[in-house]
Structures are given as structure tokens and as C-alpha cells.
Structure 1
Amino acid sequence: MKLEEKLEEIGHIGGRRGPCLSETCQADAKLRANRKGDGPAKQEANGKSTVPRRSLNTYTWQEVQRHNQEGDQWLVINRKVYDVTKWASRHPGGHRVLSHYAGEDATDAFRAMHLDLDIVKLYLKPLLIGELASGEPSQERNKNPQLVEDFQELRRTLEAMNMFDANLGFFFVHLAQIMVFEALAWLILCHFGSGWTVTIFISFLLTVSQAQSSFLQHDIGHLSMFKTSKWNHLMHKLVMCHLKGLSANWWNYRHFQHHVKPNIYPKDPDIDVGPLFLLGDSQPVKYGKKKIKYINYEKQHLYFYMVGLPFLMPGYFNLQSMQVMYLRKYWVDIVFVSSFYIRHFITFGPFYGIFGTVLLIYLVKFLESPWIAYVTQMSHIPMRMSEEENRDWLSTQVLATCNIEQSFFNDWFTGHLNFQIEHHLFPTMPRHNYHKVAPLVRSLCAKHGLLYVNKPMLTAFGDIVRALKKSAALWMDTYYE
């Protein structure tokens, strides 16, 4: 169904909003209690304020764009100008997320990353310093206002369709799947002993459990699945720290940066993998011009198989998570991650001993690593990478991501991250609704001439290597010229 037809079916919904759930970056219960006397703030959050307000300072886009430094950060949300300089260090999503939008319109990014606007707006209220002058457009002049409005209308349509409501039963079934694989591995070990054949089989079961835990923690990290953020935080730590053995805070700060500026140098940490790999078009040329050759980059597509695939989880992610927990003193995460290892020692220690249990843990991480590496990289490495171009939200996400064809196996194998475009446009949307909104997103992309890429999974796997070879060739041409 075309987007225009769907909008006609929904009717005039500009002023309506779908029900909101609590979200990981939201206030605690005490702040909720303080909302009772804040009627005007709530009305303003809904864009329906009828209460007279004090006169605000007005600014041009040129003035706003000057405040884009680490110690001086302004951003615009719904034509309001906010000074977030001092707040950035306390931002639950990490200070870098805000700095990535300093001097820019952050309306769609703000809306994409938060579910309950009424609560989050209370944090914004003391940061308000003014608004855009009446003659200024709502977005920077380089952006297509019709495209921005069409995307915002699409979001309002999806809210009216309740596409942001999570089905808790869906996610508890996935949690049960993980528990079944874990329990089955232990029961088989108890019954048959710790021979090589049994060890290989239980390693396979634990690998499936770990991969599915990765997808489940990804869901919980983005969604507010429960009525209070306290329970959502606890559930995320249980899955990420206790089931995965990785820091939830480390994942949040890293992953949210990736979402707001995907494939943008140097803002997206997922593409900052130098000096081991050179990605995209600009980074290889930059290394080549400076005659940098830490490794023979013309072979990077080959050592991707030997290094990138097997060591992403047990090496890079695991060590970085431990380093961040220690340096930033994430004590709660440290306790939960410790429980991951204690649980394994209690469960498998009697059969393998302490050293053997450690080997089993890292064998499973080693086996899981290619699975996660392929799923996370196939939708980004082959796509456009650039330095900051300050594009609108829709274009930023669609140019940097691609989808993988839908099937029952593909959905399960990728944790529905085969719908990467929809996930990036609407990070707080539960994954069981991606396939429902995909036709509307595709229609909107077609209307504005944006290429909506959807490919077979094996093609996507091969495109990772082809993209690495292309980047290596750019480095060689520049290095040896």
C-alpha cells in the first residue's frame, strides 16, 4: 500500500500520539511524582500549549551552528534552542550522543531515541534558552523540508497504528528459548559426561543461546518493555551482564552513538576499527596519503576471516567491555558480569574444573563471534561511509543501512536485524513490527528518490569482503602513487 493511501486510511492524526512506554533514559519515580503540578510543561511536550509564556530569545541557524564545540553545545528540537553543554556529562545516553548533534536540528533523532516525551521534556525545560527566529526554517537550509515533514507524518501514522507497543509475550518466548538451550546443555553434560563429542555439542547449544541473548539484550537496550525504567534497567543488566558477560553501560554508550550517526566519521565507533581495518572511501585515502602501513591493508579482506570474524566477541568486545567497566567504575555492571562467570563455574566447574570452564566460555564466544560479526556488519560495511554531511534523519539512516530478505530463518538468525533500515529509523520500535512498517518506509524512500536496499543474506555476507577489497584498492592506489 502506498504511503499516501495509508495516510488517507488513518485520517488526520497530526495531533495524536500512540501510547508511550517508559524508556531507559527516563526519570525515576520521584521525578514522576513531581509532574503533577507541571501541566504547561506537559502541554508543551505535546505541542498543544495554550498557556501564555515568557518571551524567548530568538536565534538564526547561523548563530546556532556556531555552538558545536565540546565546551559549547546548542541544539534545536521542534524549533526550540537548548544549551546542553553542562547537561551533556549527565546524559544517560552518554555525552557524545549530544555532541554529535551540537549546532544541528536534533528533532527527529530526539524523537527516535525516546519514547515517553512527557518525562524527557522535564529534563529539557531548564536547558531552554530560546527559539528559532520566525523567518528561519524548521531545519537547516540544506535539508529538504518536504522530506522531513513526510517522515514525521509517517512516524505519527505508525504511532496511531500502535507500532511502538511491545508484545511482552514475544520477548518472554525468546527468553524461554535461551533458558531451554542453557538447561539442555547442562542436562546433557550431567547425563553423558564431559567427553569431546558432548563438549562440542553443548558448545553448539551454548553458542545459540549466547547469540540469541545478544539479540534479546539489543531489544531491551532500546525498548522500555516494562512500566518503570527501573525494571527495564534491571532486565537489561540481567541479559547483557549476567547472560552475556558484557557491560550494559558500555553497550549503551557505544551503540547509541552508532544509531544517531551511522557510518559517519569519526562519530560512529562501529566504523572506527583502524589501524586493523580501513573502511569506506575516505579513510583508506587518508592513510595512503600519509604513507601509513601498520598492516598490509591490501590483504584486509583475507585477514577479516582470520581475525575479524573469530575475535570480534572474545577479543575486541570482551576486552573493551572490561576496560570500560574498570576505568569508568561501573560497579553494578562489574557485579552482574562477575555473576556470569560465577554461574558458569558453578554449572560447569564440577565437570571441567576452573581452567576448563574458562576455556569453554571462550570457546563459545569464539564460535558465536562469526555469527554476530556477520549480522552486525553486513548491513553497514558495504554501505555509504562519509564525514559529517548534516543530512536529514531519513537520508542519514537509509544511506548507511540495508535490509536482508525476510524469511523465518533470516528473522531468527539475525534477531530481526535483517530489517536494519526500519530499526535505524525507529530504534524504539519492537522488532516484531518491522515487517509491518517496511512497505510504508519503502514507499517513502521511493517518493524521495532514496535507494531502499534489500538483498539476499549470502549476497550481504559477500558484500562485506567486496567492500573491504574496494577500500584496500583505494589505499594501494594512494599509498603507491
Structure 2
Amino acid sequence: MTMKFEEKCGDNGSLVGRNQSYPGEKHQPKGKPITNGEAEFYAKQEANGKCSVPRKSLNMYTWQEIQRHNQEADQWLVINRKVYNVSSWADRHPGGRRVLNHYAGEDATDVFRAMHPEPDIVQLYLKPLLIGELAPGEHSQERHKNAQSSFLQHDVGHLSIFKKSKWNHVMHKFVMCHLKGLSANWWNYRHFQHHVKPNIYPKDPDIDMGPLFLLGDSQPVKYGKKKIKYINYEKQHLYFYMVGLPLLMPVYFNLQSMQVMYLRRYWVDIAWVSSFYIRYFITFGPYYGIFGTVLLIYLVKFLESPWIAYVTQMSHIPMRMSTEENRDWLSTQVLATCNIEQSFFNDWFTGHLNFQIEHHLFPTMPRHNYHKVAPLVRSLCAKHGLQYVNKPMLRAFGDIVRALKKSAALWVDAYYET
């Protein structure tokens, strides 16, 4: 049953009213806020506890009501006990619509803190979407989630001193599009989904490698029972060396990036990526010609491919994969990731991504800080009975193949089952 309550200042001083605007805030025709200096000033004022707005009534909701709104066209989520209807705004979400849909009907407080380094400014966008609050008798998170584990995200988050800015956005475009020849938007939307729901079918695109590879325990059985055999999956751990390692970057990522840019009309990314190819042809065309320059581009990507495949997959493929279990943030990230032992070489070779658990818990934290929070994360995992996996690098490389072989055996058993 929906109840009403009076508007008040939130715990951090922010308002919880519906359809309110900050002084100085403008709107585009579609309703997307455009912030200016005055609006940001008000956001910071409210974050400091200054609140003097008349009281209004808002709805209060139970988790049972909220969880019904988990469809693509009807999405509610909860942040800090506030209920937001993001259905009409999802297409304008900078992280992509699917990220919001993955948390529809759930508590998104921890993932919100992890992915937004400046939450006070984000409040400008949240205000018009606010429709109510959790009823007083409701838990802050769904009952089966471990709410105690979320304190780490709040208490250690101060180490995430790196602030996002328009220059970070430009640099990301420059590195991804101009230096690597890949769409920055494509990478963002794919990678954000991986971070919020790692190793969860079908929400993590990184584990959807069919029909080439079958991963985890459930996907091979599903294919086997349906008698699906695009390739002889019994040998997937062998052709991983011939296909997965050398072709991930020059073929799979390249083609997918181009497809997404074209279908979604990412004109800015198309212009940036065009500058990547123009630079190559101007620099090397006079020496190698058009065909030779194209070969050079793909040779560089071919050499990079095994590195990116090993560094990204050794921490995920051997770990737990499942359908949505609606776990708390800490459990979701730790069960799907593992670390590689720290050493000078490992830190350099992986770019500090050997601390993959910490990278997933604190995605906006500078990587050189991961080793500082690792002991805290390890102790928290021990407290809550979560296995904190830390292994040698060579063993991690081998675990990729062993995991693929195990999945292949599950497919064989299901496929030939009479």
C-alpha cells in the first residue's frame, strides 16, 4: 500500500521533494537538466545541510511495490532510501540505458556511489525523477542483502581522489578513438554493464561469447540440452589459443565497435576514429602504401590482443558465473573477480589491474591506490565469509584454459545425454 509523508531534508541535507528545480537550473526540451555555476552552488549548499524549502507530501513504498517496476519501459530504483522513476530518462543516462535496467526494482545505493565520484552534482539530475521514499518499516536494502558490507564503499571512498571533468572525457575520446581506433561510447556502455553486474547472465556482455565460447556452468548445459553445436565446444580450450588470444582486438572488438558506431549514429566517435586511420595513412602510407598500412594497423592490434585477453579474462573467466541473484554490492563483485599476486612486474604488466577485486569495488579510484585498500577489503571478506582469491599470474593464465575445459565437459555431458 502506498502512503504519504512530508518532504524533509535528507541525511546529507539534500532535498527529497518531487519535480523540483534548483534556482539557476535550466531544462532542454526533453527535460534533461543543464547545470550552470549557480545550480552547482545550490547543490553544494544542500550537501552542507542548508535546507529551507516548504514541506510537500511524497509517497512511501514497500520493496514489494518497487520490485514490480523492473521492466525496460517501467524502471524504478532506490538510492539512499529514495525511490526514483528513471523510465523516461533512461535513454539519456550517460552510462547507457541498460545499466539502469540492470538495477530496476533494486537498491542501487552502492553502485551509485561507486560509479559517480561527484554525487552532489548528480543530484541535479535525480531531483525531477524522485517519486517517494522507502516506508519506515522497510530495510534500506532488500532483506536478503548484507547491508553491513556497504560501509566499505562509503568509508574508503575518500581514496578516490581522482575527479571526473570535461577534460577526462576528452582524454578518454582521444585515447580510445584516436590512439586505439575504437568507439569510446561503445567501450563505456559495454564496460559499465560489466562493472555493475560482473559475470551475470545476460547482463554482463563480457561473458556473452557465444556461439564461439561457452562459459561458466549454466550456459554450456543450456546449449547442450538444446543440441546446439555451432562449433565443437569440446575443443574450445584449445582453439582459445588460435582464436581468442590473437583475434579479440583486431577482429571481435574492432568489428563490434564499428557496428555500434554506425547503428547508433555516434558521429563524434566516428570522427575521432577516422582521425586514427587518417594519422596512420599520413604517417605510413608513403612507405607501405594503403594495403601495407592496413596490415600494419592490424599487426599492432594482433600483438596487443593476447595481452588484453589475458589481463582482462584471467580475473573473471575462472570465477563464478550465474544468472541474476540480486546480491549485495560486495558479494557481487568479490564472487566474480580475483586478484593476482602483487609484485613490481605484475603491477607494471597489468597496470595495477592485478587488484581486480578492488578495481571492481572502487572503479573511480586511481589504480595506484588499490594496494592501500586491499587489506581492508580482505578483512571485510573474511568477516562476511567471502573467499578473497589471490593467485600467481601463471596459475591465473592456466585457470582460463582449465575453466574453458570444464565448461566444455559440461556441454559434452548435456549434448550427448540420452
What is the Cα deviation at residue 463 of structure 1? 0.2
Indicate yes or no: 2:161 matched with 1:157: no
SS of the residue corresponding to residue 60 of structure 2 reads: strand
- Cα RMSD for the two superposed structures: 2.0
Which amino acid in 1 is paired with 2:37? A
Q: Percent identity?
A: 82
SS of the residue corresponding to residue 130 of structure 1 reads: strand
Which residues of structure 1 form unaligned runs of 5+? 1-13, 17-27, 167-222
Q: Which residue of 1 aligns with 2:23?
A: none
Q: Which residue of 2 aligns with 1:468?
A: 404
Q: 1:72 aligns with which of 68, 71, 74?
A: 74
Change (3 A) 1:240 1:478: same
Q: Which residue of 2 aligns with 1:287?
A: 223
Q: Which residue of 2 aligns with 1:254?
A: 190
| Rounded Cα–Cα distance in structure 2 between residues aligned with 1:416 and 1:50 | 46
SS of the residue corresponding to residue 56 of structure 1 reads: strand
What is the Cα deviation at residue 164 of structure 1? 1.0
Q: Which residue of 2 aligns with 1:387?
A: 323
What is the Cα deviation at residue 95 of structure 1? 0.2
Indicate yes or no: 2:277 matched with 1:273: no
Q: Which residue of 2 aligns with 1:371?
A: 307
Indicate yes or no: 2:167 matched with 1:231: yes
What is the Cα deviation at residue 15 of structure 1? 7.5
8 Å CA contact 2:153–2:361 kept in 1: the answer is: no
Q: 2:246 aligns with which of 282, 289, 310?
A: 310
Q: TM-score, normalised by structure 1?
A: 0.78
In the comparison of the two structures, how many residue pairs are matched? 389
What is the Cα deviation at residue 258 of structure 1? 0.4
**CA-to-aligned-CA distance 1:238-261 (integer Å, 9 cap, x gap):** 111011010000000100000000
Change (3 A) 1:429 1:36: closer
Indicate yes or no: 2:416 matched with 1:480: yes
Q: Which runs of structure 2 are paired with 1:49-448 in the superposition (5 Å)?
A: 53-147=55-149, 151-152=150-151, 154-159=152-157, 162-166=158-162, 224=164, 229-448=165-384
Change (3 A) 1:344 1:35: same
Q: Which residue of 1 aligns with 2:25?
A: none
Q: Which residue of 2 aligns with 1:218?
A: none
Q: Which residue of 2 aligns with 1:191?
A: none
SS of the residue corresponding to residue 235 of structure 1 reads: helix
Q: 2:39 aligns with which of 35, 39, 63?
A: 35
What is the Cα deviation at residue 56 of structure 1? 1.4
Q: Which residue of 1 aligns with 2:6?
A: none
**CA-to-aligned-CA distance 1:363-411 (integer Å, 9 cap, x gap):** 1111110110000100000000000000000000000000001111111
What is the Cα deviation at residue 109 of structure 1? 0.6
| Rounded Cα–Cα distance in structure 2 between residues aligned with 1:464 and 1:238 | 32
Which amino acid in 1 is paired with 2:146? N
What is the Cα deviation at residue 441 of structure 1? 0.6
8 Å CA contact 1:32–1:119 kept in 2: the answer is: no
SS of the residue corresponding to residue 35 of structure 2 reads: helix
8 Å CA contact 1:42–1:118 kept in 2: the answer is: no
Which amino acid in 1 is paired with 2:36? R
| Rounded Cα–Cα distance in structure 2 between residues aligned with 1:452 and 1:48 | 42
What is the Cα deviation at residue 163 of structure 1? 1.1
Q: TM-score, normalised by structure 2?
A: 0.89
Change (3 A) 1:42 1:297: farther
Q: Of the two structures, which has the highest relative contact order with CA contacts closer than 8 Å and spacing of 6 or more?
A: 1
| Rounded Cα–Cα distance in structure 1 between residues aligned with 2:98 and 2:67 | 17
8 Å CA contact 2:250–2:305 kept in 1: the answer is: yes
**CA-to-aligned-CA distance 1:107-144 (integer Å, 9 cap, x gap):** 00111100111111110000000001011010001112
| Rounded Cα–Cα distance in structure 2 between residues aligned with 1:236 and 1:253 | 13
8 Å CA contact 1:109–1:393 kept in 2: the answer is: yes
What is the Cα deviation at residue 30 of structure 1? 5.4
8 Å CA contact 1:422–1:437 kept in 2: the answer is: yes
Runs of 4 or more off by more than 4 Å in structure 1?
A: 45-52
